[in-house]
Structure 1
Amino acid sequence: MSATRTATKPAPAARRPKGLDVFVWQGTDKRGKVMKGEQQAKNANALRAELRKQGITPRTVKPKGKPLFGGAGKVVTPLDIAIFSRQLATMMKSGVPIVSSMEIIANGHKNPRMSTLVNNIRADIEGGLSLYEALNKHPVQFDELYRNLVRAGESAGVLETVLDTIATYKENIEAIKGKIKKAMFYPAMVVAVALIVSAILLVFVVPQFETVFKSFGADLPAFTKMIISLSDFMVAWWWAVLLVLVGIGVSFIMAKKRSVAFSRFLDRMTLKLPVIGQIMHNSAIARFSRTLAVTFKAGVPLVEALDTVAGATGNVVYEDAVRNIRDDVAVGFPVNLAMKQVNLFPHMVVQMTAIGEEAGALDTMLFKVAEFHEQEVNNAVDALSSLLEPMIMVFLGVIVGGMVIAMYLPIFKLGAVVG
């Protein structure tokens, strides 16, 4: 059994990373069975000595090679955190100690950064910290909502149940985000491709036609002249157009990140867009309902839960509304009445919240509200995709087809004259 542990257990790099390298080894145990694995050590000789102590005769010990691309590993994504939560909950429910669970998760993860993160948390827990205190050292990967839920779970002695709930919550939230990104990404990519194709036609194709037209010596149609003028401009100033477009894109991203006022403006305008606005409304309501249901079910006090939920709605309009709800609830108003006052939540949501409060099953009702609006998001995205497909075809036809027609108009005119 000790040989098996050596094959899977890495050195505690999270606690003593300096001076340690990762080595890949292969050897045989006392029965002659071939064993292999990877482990951290100061050098190859130190690892050989350690293996011999455990009854393994080392054959080869060599430094682990680094991959050509992505040596540092991918970033830790919300989906990684969801999988980590699910795995940890499952193993703890099966009776595996939390430290051993994290060791297994770290060894089995394909993302090196996630493995390092889990090893760091494991080392802190081995050092005497609670899971909540260990997670507090990693606020980027584990947000305030996650940490508060873990603290509530530890206090109530139901950590594995809370972790399982968190995993489900994150999976649902990521599914909604994916649907919305899909709705936005498809038309944006089509527009980008259309613009690139148009630029290529204007810079490389139209000038060739212009040379042919000059040999005709005839007056060109107005539409053709306009396209040729646009082509001449693009050939002379393509670099300036590219700089302007890049500048606009960078300025937009920087303003959204750094300017609170601009970010608020975008969120408000997004909610007013046709079709897209309704998707964003349903998404914010679904996230509000599911997040509040999860926190309330975990035992977090309602006012504190609302404070945490505000930042999880994904839209500043709903964030402000939830903070107003929190203030009203803090002075004694029921949640449904506070929701009604902000005049943002549909009547059905307010009524279901009222029923949940009266029946003492607020979390159950909020889960139902979340499921309903998540389904609404799915249906709206599917409908939007169906609606956009013919519109995109028309857009491409007008942009690219218009330039093709402009180039062939003089040829048609010449053919008519010759006939």
Structure 2
Amino acid sequence: MAKTASMKSSKAAKPVIKKQIFIWEGTSRDGKKVTGETPAANSDMIKADLRRQGIVPKRVKKKSSVAASQQKITAGDIAIFARQLSTMMRAGVPLVQSFDITGNGHSNPAMRNLILSIKSDIEGGGTFASSLRKHPLHFDDLFCNLVEAGEQSGALETLLDKIAIYKEKTESLKIKIKKAVTYPIIVICVAFIVTAILLIFVVPVFADLFKSFGAELPAITQFYVNMSNYLVERWYIVLFGLVGIITFFIEGYKRSPAFREAIERTSLKAPVVGDLTMKTSVARFARTLATMFAAGVPLVEAMDSVAGAAGNIQYKKAILQIRDGLASGQQLQAGMKNFPELFPNMVVQMVAIGEESGALDTMLTKVADYYEELVDAAVDSLTAMLEPAIMAFLAVVVGGLIIAMYMPIFKLGEVVR
């Protein structure tokens, strides 16, 4: 049977307190300087937390938005960091020395400073996991929980290897999705810019020429001439309108959970995109849960990290409901059956086999591998399908505009007569 774990009874919902990232400096019990960054509602909470850890706070300040925008550490850097640590520890290199080698040899100054800061915290008496938790922008709960499990079980190098594999697979999945959407976005943007240039700078020249003819223009030509006149006279309205719409969607997606949920619910139902989103989310769910479960993290506790890494609000809500079912004694596959639109029957069957055979992590890994291959195929198929569609779009938009401008020229002989 699959592993199970108890869970503390649910606490009453508390009002959400907006947290900010604070950078702090302090002195540990042995007099060494320690630094870090921690999310909290205010600086007083940071100071109180540091004192509980035996650290005397010297400086606590809110991390500026400018500093956040200049962040240069990528998820790929974190994956490489985990892989390097795992490799060196398997070779018998002590943890602190591994930090020295990894940090001093890193080409990214920001990553080098981060690694050496973690090393300093560990030398000051902190655990590896607690040192990582001081840098929540770079190390999520899943990373920290697995490292903590590795420290407690004495199998840190094995857990670091699992983290590295998980991060590498996750990054690979992100790259595939970006590949699917980047090309059409770039082409559409180029088409928009070219069309705007033609309407603002080229069409007015043709319009003056047509006006000198004194003849009635074809309907499509007149349409583009009217559009050009509007853009030339009121370009600022169009520009501000576009910027406003784009800003509305971006900020709404970031700041409004309800708006974001509506967008993600719609994306799951959209043709082509919905299927790709489902496959990506299932692959991420299976990979994350397999990694946590194989590391010995209790199933109920692991579901919290899985929900945090879901990447889609619909899946996050479903996973949290499944977690509540697990806490009351329900099997994982039974909880997943309640969401047939999110978890295909094949996935539920694989999970059921894993639970009955006691090899849940193995079956989840197989599900993750299978769905990552499906994502690969879906991305290739989507790209192949989009290329002719985009060419047709360009032909209609740009080609139609050019033809409309030359139609009166073709009738020039009739106008002159």
Deviates more, 1:106-115 or 1:337-346: 337-346
Answer whether contact 2:199 2:228 (CA < 8 A) is retained: yes
The aligned counterpart of 2:138 is: 141
1:99, CA displacement in angstroms? Answer: 0.8
Answer whether contact 2:221 2:405 (CA < 8 A) is retained: yes
The gaps in structure 1 that reach 5 residues or longer are 1-13, 18-69
The amino acid of 1:377's aligned partner reads V
The aligned counterpart of 1:401 is: 399
Q: Say whether 1:231 aligns with 2:228.
A: yes
The aligned counterpart of 1:64 is: none
The aligned counterpart of 2:158 is: 161
Matches within 5 A, 1:276-287: 276-287=273-284
Deviates more, 1:136-145 or 1:183-192: 183-192
* Bigger Rg over Cα: 1
From the superposition, tell whether residues 326 and 74 of structure 1 become closer, same or farther in structure 2 (CA, over 3 Å).
closer
The gaps in structure 2 that reach 5 residues or longer are 1-31, 36-66
C-alpha deviations, 1:79-127, integer Å up to 9, x for none?
A: 1100000000111111111111101111111111111100100000111
Q: Say whether 1:112 aligns with 2:109.
A: yes
Aligned match for 1:415, one of 400, 413, 416: 413
The aligned counterpart of 1:345 is: 343
The aligned counterpart of 1:22 is: none
The aligned counterpart of 2:355 is: 357
The aligned counterpart of 1:45 is: none
Answer whether contact 1:74 1:111 (CA < 8 A) is retained: no
Matches within 5 A, 1:15-414: 15=33, 75-343=72-340, 344-414=342-412
C-alpha distance in structure 2 between counterparts of 1:184 and 1:415, whole Å: 47
1:190, CA displacement in angstroms? Answer: 1.3
1:342, CA displacement in angstroms? Answer: 2.6
Report the aligned-residue RMSD: 1.7
C-alpha distance in structure 2 between counterparts of 1:177 and 1:273, whole Å: 20
C-alpha distance in structure 2 between counterparts of 1:314 and 1:154, whole Å: 28
C-alpha distance in structure 2 between counterparts of 1:259 and 1:168, whole Å: 33
- The alignment partner of 2:411 has SS state of helix
From the superposition, tell whether residues 169 and 16 of structure 1 become closer, same or farther in structure 2 (CA, over 3 Å).
closer
C-alpha deviations, 1:105-160, integer Å up to 9, x for none?
A: 11111111111100100000111111011111111110011111111111111001
TM-score normalised to the size of structure 2? 0.82
Answer whether contact 2:34 2:124 (CA < 8 A) is retained: no
C-alpha distance in structure 2 between counterparts of 1:16 and 1:263, whole Å: 38
Q: State the percentage of identical aligned residues.
A: 55
Answer whether contact 1:206 1:231 (CA < 8 A) is retained: yes
The amino acid of 1:264's aligned partner reads E
TM-score normalised to the size of structure 1? 0.82
